[in-house]
Amino acid sequence: MKKLFYKLCIGGLVISCIFGVFHGCKSTKESKVKNKGETPIEVYCSGSEYWTDKDHFRANAVGESMDQNVSKDKALTEARSRLSASMKTLVNTVTDRFAISQGQDKKEELMQRYRTLTIEVIKQELIGTKIICEKVTKTSSGNYKTYIALELGCDELLSQYNNRVSTDEMLKIDYNYEKFKKIYDEEMNKLEKK
């Protein structure tokens, strides 16, 4: 009888431990997914499908205002600013690498001319951006919120840049499009991997 009693107690203890472990795991999972006092929010026009890749520059932003058109203008302005910054960073990296690889005495002057050209091209290309996502919501306070994502094809930027370099007397002397494009593609591939 005592043996049976001990077996039942030990069996009950083992079952209790197993139940406790599974219940503890479940609670840990739930706490990772939903923290007390936090509410998940959906951010429209955001996520991996709106990231820059080797074929497209992309940027997104949110604008809020009491006026719906002003909220869109704010979102567009911020998205264009972000797009411009990422394009400028990439093209400056490419032109710096290209100028250094040319091994010229006038590296500093060439790099400055490339940078000036970069700013001109980017300003012109931003006009050609496409809106690839746009969502408008109304907040509980009555404001409008516009979520927006923009896109610009990388080939368009490269083509425009190539056209502008080809018309610059100083730059076109040592400009090698194939070498420039190779560096450009390498940098775009790095962006996509991030």
pLDDT of residue 90 exceeding 90, the answer is no
Task: Let me know if residue 130 belongs to a domain.
Answer: yes
Length of the chain in terms of residues written: 194
> Do 137 and 157 belong to one domain?
yes
Task: Let me know if residue 131 belongs to a domain.
Answer: yes
> Do 30 and 57 belong to one domain?
no
Q: Quick count: other Cβ atoms within 10 Å of Cβ 175?
A: 17
pLDDT of residue 94 exceeding 70, the answer is yes
- How do residues 129-175 score in pLDDT, each as one tens digit? 899 999 999 999 999 999 999 999 888 888 888 888 878 777 766 67
pLDDT of residue 15 exceeding 70, the answer is no
Task: Let me know if residue 43 belongs to a domain.
Answer: no
Res 122: pLDDT? 82
How far apart CA 148 and CA 144 sit, in angstroms, is: 13
pLDDT of residue 19 exceeding 90, the answer is no
> Do 24 and 119 belong to one domain?
no
| Residues spanned by the domain of 164 | 48-193
Query: Number of folded domains in the chain?
Result: 2
> Do 23 and 72 belong to one domain?
no
CA distances from 65 to 22, 44, 61, 72, 142 (A): 49, 17, 14, 9, 9
> Per-residue confidence at 179, pLDDT binned at 50, 70, 90?
confident
- How do residues 32-52 score in pLDDT, each as one tens digit? 556 788 888 888 999 999 998
Task: Let me know if residue 10 belongs to a domain.
Answer: yes
